[in-house]
C-alpha cells in the first residue's frame, strides 16, 4: 500500500512537496484555502530574476508550469479548504470536518505583521495598487523600513503622492537599490521614529510618533503598514506543531527566517520534508470519534 501525505497550502513549498511525494511513490493531496495555486506568486508583478534556470520568468507563467506538472502527476488539489489543525491522527478543517492522516506537510506561507498600538486595528490593510487606483490619493504615511515598505513608498512618491516613511530604526533596512530609488522619489523619511498611536481624523488619520523625547503628530489621508511578515499560523496550528511534531512538518516561508524566504528555499523545503517522511516508519494513530464530518484520507473533506 502506498503511503499518503496531506499537504496544506498550494504555494511553491506545498507544490514542491507534492511533486517529490509522487517521485518517491507516495500519495499526496493538496488542500488550499484559496481558489488557485501559487500562493504569493499571485502577488508578484515584476519578472522573477533569481530563479536559477528561468531568468525573467513571469510569476503567472511559473504558476501555469507548476499547475501543468501537478496535473501530469495526477495530484488531487482541493480548493476552498482551510486546514485548522492536526490532532491525534486527524487533519481538521472548518465546521468540524476532518480526515484521518498520519503525515501532514504544512506550507501556509506568511501574513503581514499588524501594528500593535492604540488605533491600529482601525487601519485597513490596503494594497499600493488600490491606493494608486483611487481618484485622488492624498498624503500617505508608510510605516516600516524594509523592502516592502520602501518599495511601497517609492511607488507612491513616484506617482506624485506626498509620502512620509516612518521607521523606528536608526536607518532603513531595505536593499541599497530600493533606498537609492526612494532617495530619488521625493519621499520624506523619518528614522528613529516610533509610532505610538493612530487615530481617525477628518476622513484621514493622525499618527502620533515618538522621536526621542518628543511626540509629533502627522496628519495624512492614508496609512500603509509594512512592518514585516510572520508565519501564517493560528494558535491551534502552533499547538499541533508542538504536540504532533512526528506527524506535522512545517516548510516554506513559514519555516524560514525573513532573510531566507524565497522560491528556492520553498522548493527545497518541500523536497526535504518528503524525504524525511519517507525515511521514517509511519506511526499509526488510534482513530478518535469526535469528528462530525469524517471522510476518507486524501479526499475532499466537504464530501461525505
Ligand X SMILES: Cc1cc2nc3c(=O)[nH]c(=O)nc-3n(C[C@H](O)[C@H](O)[C@H](O)COP(=O)(O)OP(=O)(O)OC[C@H]3O[C@@H](n4cnc5c(N)ncnc54)[C@H](O)[C@@H]3O)c2cc1C
Binding site for ligand X (CB under 6 A): 8-14, 31-34, 39-41, 43-44, 48, 50, 82-83, 107-109, 232, 252-253, 261-264, 266
Cell of 192: 528613529
Q: Which CB sits closer to ligand X, 14 or 89? A: 14
To ligand X, the closest distance from the beta carbon of 218 in angstroms equals 27
Q: How far is the CB of 139 from ligand X (least distance, A)?
A: 24
Which is nearer to ligand X, 18 or 220 (by Cβ)? Answer: 18
Output the smallest distance, CB 169 to ligand X, in A.
22
3 state DSSP class of 183: helix
Q: Give the residue with the Cβ less far from ligand X, 187 or 266.
A: 266
Backbone angles phi, psi at 156, to 5 degrees: -70, -50
Smallest distance from ligand X to CB 267, Å: 9
Helices 59-72 and 12-23, packing angle to 10 deg: 30
Alpha helices in 106-232 (DSSP H): 128-133, 147-158, 176-185
What residues does 85 pair with on adjacent strands? 92
Q: Count other Cβ atoms within 10 Å, centred on residue 6.
A: 25
Residue corresponding to grid cell 490593510: 125
- What is the closest distance, in whole angstroms, from the C-beta atom of residue 168 to ligand X in the complex? 23
DSSP H helical ranges for 125-254: 128-133, 147-158, 176-185, 235-243
Strand, helix or coil for residue 279: coil
Q: Which is nearer to ligand X, 194 or 261 (CB)?
A: 261
With respect to ligand X, which residue has the nearer C-beta, 94 or 162?
A: 94
Amino acid at each position: 500500500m502506498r503511503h499518503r501525505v496531506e499537504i496544506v497550502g498550494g504555494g511553491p513549498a506545498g507544490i514542491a512537496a507534492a511533486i517529490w511525494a509522487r517521485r518517491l511513490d507516495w500519495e499526496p493531496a493538496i488542500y488550499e484555502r484559496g481558489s488557485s495555486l501559487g500562493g504569493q506568486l499571485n502577488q508578484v508583478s515584476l519578472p522573477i530574476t533569481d530563479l536559477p534556470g528561468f531568468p525573467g520568468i513571469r510569476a503567472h507563467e511559473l504558476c501555469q508550469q507548476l499547475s501543468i506538472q501537478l496535473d501530469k502527476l495526477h495530484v488531487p488539489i482541493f480548493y476552498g479548504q482551510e486546514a485548522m489543525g492536526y490532532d491525534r491522527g486527524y487533519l481538521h478543517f472548518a465546521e468540524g470536518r476532518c480526515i484521518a492522516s498520519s503525515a501532514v506537510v504544512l506550507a501556509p506561507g506568511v501574513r503581514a505583521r499588524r501594528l500593535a498600538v492604540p488605533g491600529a486595528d482601525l487601519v485597513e490593510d490596503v494594497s499600493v495598487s488600490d491606493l494608486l487606483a483611487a481618484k485622488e490619493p492624498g498624503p500617505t504615511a508608510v510605516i516600516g523600513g524594509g523592502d516592502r515598505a520602501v518599495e511601497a513608498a517609492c511607488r507612491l512618491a513616484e506617482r506624485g503622492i506626498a509620502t512620509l516613511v516612518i521607521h523606528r530604526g536608526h536607518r532603513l533596512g531595505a536593499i541599497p537599490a530600493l533606498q537609492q530609488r526612494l532617495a530619488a522619489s521625493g519621499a520624506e523619511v523619518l528614522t528613529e521614529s516610533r509610532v505610538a498611536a493612530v487615530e481617525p481624523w477628518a476622513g484621514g488619520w493622525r499618527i502620533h510618533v515618538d522621536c526621542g523625547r518628543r511626540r509629533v503628530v502627522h496628519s495624512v489621508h492614508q496609512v500603509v503598514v509594512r512592518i514585516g511578515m510572520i508565519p501564517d499560523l493560528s494558535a491551534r496550528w502552533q499547538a499541533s506543531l508542538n504536540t504532533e511534531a512526528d506527524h506535522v512538518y512545517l516548510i516554506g516561508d513559514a519555516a524560514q527566517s525573513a532573510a531566507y524566504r524565497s522560491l528556492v528555499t520553498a522548493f527545497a523545503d518541500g523536497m526535504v520534508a518528503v524525504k524525511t517522511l519517507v525515511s521514517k516508519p509511519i506511526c499509526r494513530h488510534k482513530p478518535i470519534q469526535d469528528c462530525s464530518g469524517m471522510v476518507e484520507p486524501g479526499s475532499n473533506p466537504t464530501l461525505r
